[in-house]
A and B are shown apart, each in its own frame.
Chain A
Amino acid sequence: MAFFNRRPALTASRSQPESSSKRLLREHQEVAISSWRRLWQTPFSNLLTWLTLAIALALPAALLLLLSQAQHLGAQVNKSSHISVFLAANVSQEEGLLITQNLGSRPDITQATYISAEQALVDFKASSGLEDILGSLTDNPLPATILIEPANTSLSPEAVAILAKQLRQQEQIDQVLVDMAWLDRLQAILETSERFTYSLALLLALGVLLVVGNTVRLQIESRKQEILVIKLLGGTDAYLRRPFLYAGFWAGLFAAVIAWIILLLGVAYLHQPLMSLAQSYQSDWQLQGLSWFGSFVLVIASCGLSVLGASLTVGRQLRLIEPK
């Protein structure tokens, strides 16, 4: 019979040898395209899945974005935190200037500025609006002050505290003021937010795995007949798994794009009030959107989690479907 007899001729005319890697690449291309087409057969339910995934991704991403920038802001505030050194009343202006000079030459201090008692009084009069009352005083109640800006290397609150302690030990110095409590509090808030964000990110990543896993389980259920026939015709596990892994990949990609848009809108919405807040602290800080690198990480994390979620489910589900 012609059909079977033609076997040698057909074999000879096959456009082989196609190398196994080339063949694998072609098969992957075919599956990527066919699973892409399959997405648009049920666009509405897919969109719902993507939105769910996108929200689960956007929430921790937004918190991480805020946190990293708040840390940046915190560092800025910390850097600009001054130490006020009040000199004892019996220290003369010459002595005061000498101490200032000495302090200014220390490696852990960027700048030391001497403010004489008279200058302090003038400043205070101008800023407090109590000119009349202060003018009636015969003595200047204010001490001379040295404003110290710690060096960049001593950013941590601990380093600032040590510096303050050292300053207090000098006998010409009456009092050293650092708003340590405020710095400590900021640090604690940042650390708490950080841990909270990481825990939330972990839980939501688990959520992504479960959502994708469940979606894939339903897809497998709806294609049960096809899977049975393919198993009987000798389809390997890898062949059967592939379309579902690609479905996971596409879901991850779309979820990342939607999450990116949510973040963009969120940043635009928060930009104005946050800028006003920063301005009230004399900071020119601005909320930045996701960087190129951040967007890249978002896409990789989303696709990676989705493919992982799909692969965790697909093997087990496929084993449950055996021709009987």
Chain B
Amino acid sequence: MINFEQVSKQYHDKSALVNANFHLQRGDMAFLTGHSGAGKSTLLKLIMLMERPTSGKVIVDRQDLSQLNRAEVPAHRRKIGLVFQNHQLLMDYSVFDNVALPLKISGYNERDSGRRVRAALDKVGLLDKEKLSPQVLSSGEQQRIGIARAIVNKPKLILADEPTGNLDPALSAEIMHLFQQFNQVGVTVLIASHDLELIQHLPHPVIQLNQGLISAPLSVRGQ
């Protein structure tokens, strides 16, 4: 699903990623760890095409990303469900409208969109909050709304950038359990997290980044 071949990213005089190689197969779930500044965000940005590599090749869903021009970036992003650390919800939208945004962008009509939004909200257990503003929700609930928005389009790949960064351990475990559920039905999941305590207890491979280098390469599936 995701293939990095000798990928390097240089920012001015600083190397964010050096000759990164890894392969995440379709249906896998893996963690990406490392200190802040180790290159986790850079790696995710390369997958999202928010950045282009200085050298090397990034392949997502059999598509070589270097082949995509600026106009093709939106369609690529629509295939990926993205979960942010700070959830990036729009506070002047209702919960429903936040979750419906990816569908609106994809051009769904209101009827289909409403059904999908409610299914996604039901999945994260917040169906009764659809009319509220995200502002009145707790941070755990806000993060779940962010997850509902990421899955509403039924993406084949979910990327999460520190999804449990601001949450207490119980809520973090709950969020991770949600991702595991998505993975069980065949969705590929890559989660950047520095919450080693939590990751250690989960049966998923870990890609460890250290100053732009992958120090613990990902091996076989289901490790």
Taking Cβ atoms with an 8 Å cutoff, the residues of A that contact B are 1, 3-7, 10, 14-15, 18, 23, 26-27, 225-226, 228-237, 239, 322-324
Instruction: List 6 other contacts, CB 8 Å, given A232-B88, A234-B105.
Output: A4-B187, A15-B112, A229-B90, A233-B78, A236-B75, A239-B105
Measured in the bound complex, the distance between the Cα atoms of B77 and A23 in whole Å is: 21
Which residues does chain A contribute within 8 Å of B119, judged by CB atoms? 3, 6, 10
Which residues does chain B contribute within 8 Å of A228, judged by CB atoms? 88
Which residues does chain A contribute within 8 Å of B90, judged by CB atoms? 225-226, 229
Q: Is there an interface contact between B154 and A4, defined as CB atoms closer than 8 Å?
A: yes
Q: Give me the 6 closest cross-chain CB pairs, A-B, nearest first.
A: A234-B78, A234-B77, A4-B185, A1-B185, A3-B123, A236-B74
B67 interfacial contact with A, CB 8 Å: no
Q: Is there an interface contact between B186 and A233, defined as CB atoms closer than 8 Å?
A: no
B85 CB to nearest chain A CB (Å): 13
Q: Is the interface of A mostly helix, strand, loop or mixed?
A: helix
Q: Is there an interface contact between A26 and B101, defined as CB atoms closer than 8 Å?
A: no
Which residues does chain A contribute within 8 Å of B107, judged by CB atoms? 23, 27
Measured in the bound complex, the distance between the Cα atoms of B74 and A125 in whole Å is: 92
Which residues does chain A contribute within 8 Å of B76, judged by CB atoms? 234
CB-CB contacts below 8 Å: B136-188 with A: 149, 151, 154, 181-182, 184-187
Q: Is the interface of B mostly helix, strand, loop or mixed?
A: helix
Q: Is there an interface contact between B82 and A232, defined as CB atoms closer than 8 Å?
A: yes
Q: Is there an interface contact between B109 and A18, defined as CB atoms closer than 8 Å?
A: yes
A210 CB to nearest chain B CB (Å): 28
Residues 181-208 of B, flagged 1 when their CB comes within 8 A of A and 0 if not, give 1101111000000000000000000000
Q: Is there an interface contact between A229 and B116, defined as CB atoms closer than 8 Å?
A: no
Q: Is there an interface contact between A4 and B77, defined as CB atoms closer than 8 Å?
A: no
Instruction: Pick from A4, A7, A18, A235: contact of B74, CB below 8 A.
Output: A235
Instruction: Pick from A5, A23, A230: contact of B101, CB below 8 A.
Output: A230
Q: A6-B119, A14-B112, A323-B50 are in contact. Are A234 and B102 (CB under 8 A)?
A: yes
Q: A4-B154, A18-B109 are in contact. Are A234 and B74 (CB under 8 A)?
A: yes
> Which residue of chain A lies nearest to B115 when distances are taken between CB atoms in the complex?
A10
Which residues does chain B contribute within 8 Å of A239, judged by CB atoms? 74, 105
B62 interfacial contact with A, CB 8 Å: no
CB-CB contacts below 8 Å: B68-113 with A: 71, 73-79, 82, 88, 90, 101-102, 105-107, 109, 111-112
Which residues does chain A contribute within 8 Å of B149, judged by CB atoms? 233
Measured in the bound complex, the distance between the Cα atoms of B73 and A4 in whole Å is: 25
Which residues does chain A contribute within 8 Å of B154, judged by CB atoms? 4, 7
Q: A3-B120, A323-B50 are in contact. Are A235 and B181 (CB under 8 A)?
A: no
Determine which residue in B77, B111, B187 has the highest number of CB atoms from chain A within 10 A of its CB, and name it: B77
Q: Is there an interface contact between A233 and B185, defined as CB atoms closer than 8 Å?
A: no
Determine which residue in B71, B185, B186 has the highest number of CB atoms from chain A within 10 A of its CB, and name it: B185
Which residues does chain A contribute within 8 Å of B71, judged by CB atoms? 236-237
B8 CB to nearest chain A CB (Å): 19
CB-CB contacts below 8 Å: B44-72 with A: 48, 50, 71
Measured in the bound complex, the distance between the Cα atoms of B110 and A18 in whole Å is: 13
Measured in the bound complex, the distance between the Cα atoms of B50 and A230 in whole Å is: 13
Q: Is there an interface contact between B109 and A232, defined as CB atoms closer than 8 Å?
A: no
B11 CB to nearest chain A CB (Å): 11
Measured in the bound complex, the distance between the Cα atoms of B127 and A127 in whole Å is: 97
Q: Is there an interface contact between A1 and B111, defined as CB atoms closer than 8 Å?
A: no
Which residues does chain A contribute within 8 Å of B48, judged by CB atoms? 232, 323
Q: Is there an interface contact between B115 and A235, defined as CB atoms closer than 8 Å?
A: no
B29 CB to nearest chain A CB (Å): 13
Which residues does chain B contribute within 8 Å of A4, judged by CB atoms? 151, 154, 182, 185-187
> Which residue of chain B lies nearest to A34 when distances are taken between CB atoms in the complex?
B104
Measured in the bound complex, the distance between the Cα atoms of B151 and A6 in whole Å is: 13
Measured in the bound complex, the distance between the Cα atoms of B50 and A231 in whole Å is: 10
Measured in the bound complex, the distance between the Cα atoms of B101 and A228 in whole Å is: 13
Q: Is there an interface contact between A5 and B109, defined as CB atoms closer than 8 Å?
A: no
Which residues does chain A contribute within 8 Å of B109, judged by CB atoms? 15, 18, 23, 26
Which residues does chain A contribute within 8 Å of B101, judged by CB atoms? 229-230, 233
Which residues does chain B contribute within 8 Å of A6, judged by CB atoms? 119
Instruction: Pick from B75, B122, B123, B187: contact of A234, CB below 8 A.
Output: B75
Which residues does chain A contribute within 8 Å of B78, judged by CB atoms? 233-234
Q: Is there an interface contact between B111 and A15, defined as CB atoms closer than 8 Å?
A: yes
Q: A3-B119, A225-B90 are in contact. Are A233 and B182 (CB under 8 A)?
A: no
A69 CB to nearest chain B CB (Å): 50
